[in-house]
Structure 1
Amino acid sequence: MSEEGRFTIHLEQREGFEINVAFDWKRAADLLMDEPPPLGEQHGPNASRVLAAAAANCLSASLLYCVFKEEPPEDCLKAEATCILIRNARKRLRIGGLEVRLIVADVVKESARFGRCKDLFEDFCVVSASIREGIPMKVTVVDQAGEVLHRSG
């Protein structure tokens, strides 16, 4: 389940605020992201929704892996992710919190490993643990020739 090192995904603006995301895995389908009106047309999820989905997906996979290892039974878990949007002191929209609810079937709850896993799985979720700790970020803006126009972090 571990994935170490680095990976790069590629994003390309299409029309308006539509961004096509191409993943580094050949078998993974591209993802179309968009902003809600009035900016975009809501043809795909925006970044806040993808972040909430990523946290819920990671927690789900972490729990399933802990309980069942490589072969979890089908349809044994559902998840809900709620993203709480707030305005900061400068009135900028921010993610003020995430609430993830995992709904497990009896086969999960009754597993011999569930008692131990329910106290461990969150710590092994790469995404939610990273969000909680704060993720250092570097941002660079370059032109098509590669000249650096802006750098932060």
Structure 2
Amino acid sequence: MSNQATVVNLKLVEGYKFEVDFGDFGTITTDEPEPLGSGSGPSPSQLLAAAVANCMAASLMFAVRKYKGDPGQMRAQVTATTDRVDGRLRVTHLDVDLRLGNPAIELPQLDKILAQFEDFCVVTQSVRQGIEVTAKVHDSTGMGVRSSTK
């Protein structure tokens, strides 16, 4: 699976609004927030945050299932922090909160899963080259089962 190319096409609609074409998967509209754009769609920073959280949630689900567990109704929330770096606005931190849909006690090999699932997330590991990403995992009871900063 190495050297795979992903192609996404963008077309300016107006102002800072773009139509993003994912081919067979359809299109979405993105836009910068006010005052630059009109905020009529997710911003590039929101797409980045969503990509990291989605990839991390999928990696956790894969790992749980690999050990014959049921992740239940997975949920994720991601908070992107922006700050000025050398005078320019940058995404400086992504904080991902993953919520498993079942209690930790029902998930076999959870310690092994939590120790390795992040390493398989292509997007997160790529983004971590320049942005700090923290991850917390909670089970369905709300109990924290892992917290990390890499």
TM-score bracket relative to the smaller structure: 0.7 to 0.9
RMSD: 2.4
Partner of 2:109: 113
Q: Which amino acid aligns with 1:40?
A: G
Larger radius of gyration: 1
Partner of 2:146: none
Q: Aligned in 2, Cα 1:102/1:32: closer, same or farther, shift over 3 Å? A: same
Structure 1 residue runs of 4 or more that deviate by more than 6 Å after TM superposition: none
| TM-score normalised by the chain length of structure 1 | 0.76
What whole-Å deviation, never above 9, does each CA across 1:80-132 have from its counterpart, x for those lacking one? 1011100012x210011111010112256622132211111100000010111
Instruction: Please give the residue correspondences for 1:117-128 in structure 2 after superposition, counting only pairs within 5 Å.
Output: 117-128=113-124
Q: Aligned in 2, Cα 1:134/1:96: closer, same or farther, shift over 3 Å? A: closer
Query: C-alpha separation between the residues in 2 aligned to 1:4 and 1:46?
Result: 28
| TM-score normalised by the chain length of structure 2 | 0.77
Q: Percent identity between the aligned chains?
A: 36
Partner of 1:84: 81
Higher strand share: 2
**Matched length:** 130
1:87–1:93: 8 Å Cα contact kept in structure 2?
yes
1:77–1:103: 8 Å Cα contact kept in structure 2?
yes
Q: In structure 1, list runs of 5 or more residues that go unmatched.
A: 136-153
Query: C-alpha separation between the residues in 2 aligned to 1:96 and 1:4?
Result: 28
Query: C-alpha separation between the residues in 2 aligned to 1:80 and 1:3?
Result: 29
Of residues 54, 57, 66 in structure 2, which corresponds to 1:57? 54
Partner of 1:16: 15
Partner of 1:129: 125
1:35–1:46: 8 Å Cα contact kept in structure 2?
yes
Instruction: Please give the residue correspondences for 1:22-37 in structure 2 after superposition, counting only pairs within 5 Å.
Output: 22-24=21-23, 26=24, 28-37=25-34
Q: Aligned in 2, Cα 1:74/1:105: closer, same or farther, shift over 3 Å? A: closer
Instruction: Please give the residue correspondences for 1:136-147 in structure 2 after superposition, counting only pairs within 5 Å.
Output: none
